[in-house]
Every structure is written in structure tokens, then in C-alpha cells.
Structure 1
């Protein structure tokens, strides 16, 4: 997916989320983010989209002003649908005004800028829509091709140099000497191999033998990797090889779950 496709999907996924949460109980707990209420979830999605819109729209080279301008959602859940839609539209306008090579700060360590943020907003709303589904007792569905793209975002972000350097707990747990994990979506093209090295986790888009292989529908793979569904409840996933290695990986995929 390119930047425009990611941004189009952000608007569409946000629209679905907005319809789900419209008028709902703001204090409802979010089981997949145990410290969050539904209001916290809405704040996070809409506030992040507005923050990224500021970063991209104003070509920021460092994030302090965007972070300081973080906007919380309305207290009245009856206003959430419009507020979320406005945030996604604001983000779209910002991306429409920029090119992929427009200089914009990003935390990846790879100076990926505009493409990074379009992919990141897409991955964010896909995963957080799963949080809303869990909070509201709704069925979560995501087209296989979109689920592959969201899984790519999750894995690329979690294995980025920036994440490694800014999360010493993650780095300590993930240091290794070449152990490999193979993730394979079975309903759309998508395969990744993560290799644990002493100084980082290397992510490759490849098919190869690994210490553990995890295969199944892309949406199920996304939910388990992002800790939105327990592995034991993911009956469609097949785990071959060192299951304990995969469990260790999941235990440390704790990026936005608290």
C-alpha cells in the first residue's frame, strides 16, 4: 500500500469506529487495554490523528509542539462520531498537502517521515478498532489485504531501531543470537521472518525455515501479535516449532496495551 491508500483506509476505518462508539458509555472498560475506558480509547485515536496531522501539515522536524497540542475527545459520547470523523479528515488534508519525501520527524530511526506516519495511523486505527469491538461486544472483521498491511505496520514498528532504543525493557527481552520466528498469513500475501540479534530484531519479508512458524488468517495473526486476542483463543492459527519462543515474543508486544 502507498501513502494515499493508507490514508484512504484510515478514513474508512475511523468511520466504522466512529459509528460503533457513537453515544456509547464513556466509562465502559476496554478489556484489551485494561487501564483504559472507551473515552480513553476515543481520545487516543482522535488525538493521535490530530497530532500527526500537525506534524505532517506543518512539516515539523521535532515533535514537542505537536505532543503539547494533543487534543482530548469530547466528554459527551454523542459528539464522538463527528469528532473522530473530523480528526481523520484533518489527517487526510495534511497528507494530501505533502509528498512522500517531505521532511517530517518520525520516531522510527529511519527518517521515513510521511510514509511512516500514513502507515502508522492506519495500523493504529485497525488495532484500536479491535479494542472497541472488545469493549462493545462486537465482531471484529478486517479484509485480509488490510490485515496484512496492519500486521506489516505492527512488526515494522516493533522491530524499528527507534523502538529498540526507546524501550530498554523490550530490547533486554528481545536480545538473542539468531533465533527466528516466521509469521505467515494464509488468506493474502504476507510473510515475515523476525530474527533476534544481540543489537536489534531484524525483520525480513521472506519465506524460510525458522525456530517457530505461525500460520493463519491475516486478521487472526494481527490480533494475536498485537495482544488483542490470546493465542489460546485463536483456533485458526497454527504454531509449528518452538511455541515458547512465540509466547515470549507475544509477552513483550506490549506497546499500547496499558
Structure 2
């Protein structure tokens, strides 16, 4: 997927989420983010899109102004649909004004801010729509190709140099001496091999023998690796090898620390 495809998907995913939550009970707990209510979820999705729109649209190389520009979601939940759709449209418009190589702040450490943020907003929309589905008792469906893209975002973000350097607790937990994990989507083209090393987690997009492997539909794999569905409840996934190694990995895949 390219930047345009990511942002088009952000608009589509956000529109579905907005339809679900509009007029909802703001105090409803979000089971997949135990410290959040439905209002917190809506606020997070829209505010993040607006923050990224500022970073990209204003070509920020230092993000403090974007964080300072936070605007909360409407307190009236009947206004949520329009607000969320407006946030997504604002984000897409911001990306239309830049090229992939336009310099903007990139927290991953790879100096590729525009592609990073387009993919990050896409991954956010996919995962948080799953949060909304769990909250409202709605069936969550995601096309396999989109689910692969969201897995790619999750794994790339969690194994980035920037994340390792800024989350010492994660780095401590993930340091290893070559332990390997293989993730395999069976209904779309997507395979990843992660290797825990002393100073990083190395991620390759390849098939390979690993200490533990998990395979199944891309959507179910996304829900498990993003901690939106317990591994024990994902009955269609197959796990081969060191289950404890996979459990340890999932336990530490929590970049939103209060979720």
C-alpha cells in the first residue's frame, strides 16, 4: 500500500467506526483498553488524526506544537460521527500537500516521516475499530489485505529503533540472544520473522524456521498481536513451538501503555 491507499483506508475505517459510535453512551467501558471509556476511544482516534495532520501538513520536524494543539472530542456523542469523519478528512488533506520524502518528524528513527505516519494512522484506525467492535458487541471484519497492512504497521512500529530507545522497559523485556518468532497470514501475502537480539528486535518479511510460529487468518492474527483478542480465544490460529516465547512477546506489545 502507498500513502494514498493508506489514507483512503483511514477515511473508510474511520467512517465505519463513526457510524458505530455515534450517539453511544460515552461512559461505556472499552474491554480491550481497560482504562478507557467509549468517549476516551473516540477522543484518541480523532485527536491523533488531527495531531498527525498538523505534523504532516505543517511539515513539523519537532512535534511539541502538534501535541500542544490537542482539541478534545465533542462531549455530545451525537456529534461524534461528524467530528470523526472531519478528523479523517483533515488528515487525508494534509497528506495530499506533501511528498513521501518531505521532511517531517519520524518517531521511528528512520527519517521517513510521511510514509511512517500514513501507515501509522491506517494501523490505528484498524485496531481501534476493533476496540469499538468489542465495546459495542459488533462483529469485527477486515479484508485480509488490509489486515496484513495493519499487522505490518504494528510489527514495524514495535520493532523500530525509536520505540526501542524510548521504551527502556520494552527493550529490557525484548533483549535476547537470537530467539525467533514467525507470524504467517494464511489468507493473504504476509509473513514476518522476528529475531530478539541484545540491542534490537530484527524484523524480516520472510518465511523461515523459528522457535515459535503462529499462523492463521490475517484479521485474527492482527487481533492477537495487537492484544485485542487473547491468544487462547483465537481458536483458528495454529501455534507451533515455544508457546511461552509467544506469550512473552504478546505481553509486551503494549505501546499505548494505559490501554
Report the TM-score when normalising by structure 2: 0.99
Matching of residues 39-58 of structure 1 within 5 Å: 39-58=39-58
Q: Which residue number in structure 2 is paired with residue 83 of structure 1?
A: 83
* 1:10 aligned onto 2:10: yes
Deviation at 1:70, TM superposition (A): 1.3
Q: Which residue number in structure 2 is paired with residue 22 of structure 1?
A: 22
Q: Which residue number in structure 2 is paired with residue 178 of structure 1?
A: 178
SS of 2:246 mapped into structure 1: helix
The RMSD of aligned alpha carbons is: 0.6
Q: How many residues align?
A: 258
CA distance in 1 between counterparts of 2:192 and 2:72 reads 36
Q: Which residue number in structure 1 is paired with residue 227 of structure 2?
A: 227
Matching of residues 87-236 of structure 1 within 5 Å: 87-236=87-236
Q: Which residue number in structure 2 is paired with residue 37 of structure 1?
A: 37
Ranges in structure 2 where 5+ consecutive residues have no aligned partner: none
Deviation at 1:221, TM superposition (A): 0.3
Deviation at 1:124, TM superposition (A): 0.3
Deviation at 1:69, TM superposition (A): 0.5
Deviation at 1:54, TM superposition (A): 0.3
CA distance in 1 between counterparts of 2:13 and 2:185 reads 21
Runs of 4+ in structure 1 over 3 Å off: none
Ranges in structure 1 where 5+ consecutive residues have no aligned partner: none
CA distance in 2 between counterparts of 1:197 and 1:158 reads 14
Deviation at 1:254, TM superposition (A): 1.2
CA distance in 1 between counterparts of 2:155 and 2:225 reads 8
SS of 1:18 mapped into structure 2: helix
CA distance in 2 between counterparts of 1:181 and 1:27 reads 38
CA distance in 2 between counterparts of 1:46 and 1:89 reads 11
Deviation at 1:217, TM superposition (A): 0.1
Deviates most, 248-257 or 176-185: 248-257
Deviations 1:164-183 (A, max 9, x none): 00111100000000000000
Deviation at 1:112, TM superposition (A): 1.2
CA distance in 2 between counterparts of 1:71 and 1:156 reads 28
Deviation at 1:93, TM superposition (A): 0.5
Report the TM-score when normalising by structure 1: 0.99
Deviation at 1:198, TM superposition (A): 0.2
SS of 2:108 mapped into structure 1: coil
SS of 2:111 mapped into structure 1: coil
SS of 2:176 mapped into structure 1: coil
